[in-house]
Amino acid sequence: MERNYNFCAGPSTLPEAVLRQAQAELLNWHGLGASVMEISHRSKDFEAIVTQCEQKMRSLLNIPENYKVIFLQGGAYAQFSMIPLNLLGNNTRIDMIETGVWSSKAIGAMKRYADINIAASTKDTKFTTLPEANALNFSEDSAFVHYCDNETINGVEFNYIVDNTPSPVVADMSSNILSREFDVSKFGVIYAGAQKNIGPSGVTLVIVRDDLLGKADSKMSDVFNYELQSKNLSMINTPPTFSLYMIDLVLTWLQNQGGVAAIEQVNNAKATMLYDLIDKSEFYNNPVAVNARSRMNVPFTIVNSELDPIFLAKAKEQGLINLEGHRSVGGMRASIYNALPLEGVKALCEFMSDFEKQYG
């Protein structure tokens, strides 16, 4: 088989139809006699791509008019600094919820800029649970509340929106944006690295409510100033043009799948199938509380961890690749983003059943 089922956590699998289109027009895009990556970002042809990326994202996520949609560089990691530099103003406090590796990294970065109030932490459960929605201890004077909606490494996903907060909510949705419907208007800022559900790596999506603009630190580069970038079609500097082109194709693909509501049904079916297999088995295990489980990233272990390398090698033979767990936790992880088809999860479940019969 030319293409494997690729469970990589990111950069992750892309829709095959998108890759085939990119391949077909790689040397001659739109009859220009040049690749899309060889034309000026200031050309009408390329500006249309960025405009379409914004419009399709607005349509798919039902983003209200009073939100800006921008595409930046530097990954979600850079946003850990850019968010305080854009939003703090004279405020000196941030409320943060800790539910896994990525929200912990955000805390480590943001504490350079402000006093951090930990509104809740699930560290005591080794990040296998969610905090109770009514047990979040917000301060009254914070600039914003930060949380990570889906923890890629820990396999934990919020099953509620953090709401009724004294200050605007900022959410890292890198690994679950576009995977389910949600109400954008509940948020001040939503940000996401592209390399899971949006496209290839190199682009960071930022959705920001316009009343939060205007407080950017004067020492920050214009390139990371939300207000300036939103006024300049995200092109104060030369953007990663090929990545944006790919995003445009991925968003079109998602529209053709029926949009976010339709892909959410598929995502639920995929996750249910995989968790059911794990839960019915004495051989596989997932450590996360049922109500905290991610529909995107499913970490699992085999009771006898000596079987891990055999499992991974045999899975690869079957065309099921990149199932290694994160280097910090070991075991296995199946990332089942939008572009990983239902058939891929079926194939994985069949393989896991067979493997259990042989080695269990």
Active site residue 280: no
Please report whether residue 150 would count as binding a copy of itself according to CB under 8 A: no
Q: How far is the CB of 137 from a copy of itself (least distance, A)?
A: 27
The answer to whether residue 196 is catalytic is: yes
Q: Does 328 bind a copy of itself (CB under 8 A)?
A: no
> Can 68 be counted among the known catalytic residues?
no
Is 273 a binding residue for a copy of itself by CB under 8 A? The answer is no
Question: Which residue among 196, 248, 253, 270 is the active-site one?
Answer: 196
Q: Is 154 in the site for a copy of itself (CB under 8 A)?
A: no
Nearer to a copy of itself, 9 or 206 (CB): 9
Position 19 contacts a copy of itself (CB under 8 A): yes
Query: Stretches 91-99, 109-117, 283-291, 347-355: which one binds a copy of itself (CB under 8 A)?
Result: 109-117
Distances (CA, A) of 269 to 25, 200, 252, 274: 34, 25, 22, 9
327 annotated ligand-binding residue: no
Cβ 124 to a copy of itself, closest distance in Å?
Answer: 27
The answer to whether 28 contacts a copy of itself (rule: CB under 8 A) is yes
Out of 100, 155, 168, 200, point to the residue binding a copy of itself (CB under 8 A).
200
Q: Annotated catalytic residue: which of 56, 95, 149, 172?
A: 172
Q: If binding is defined by CB under 8 A, does position 22 make contact with a copy of itself?
A: yes
Binding residues for L-glutamate: 42
Would you name the residues annotated as active-site residues? 102, 172, 196
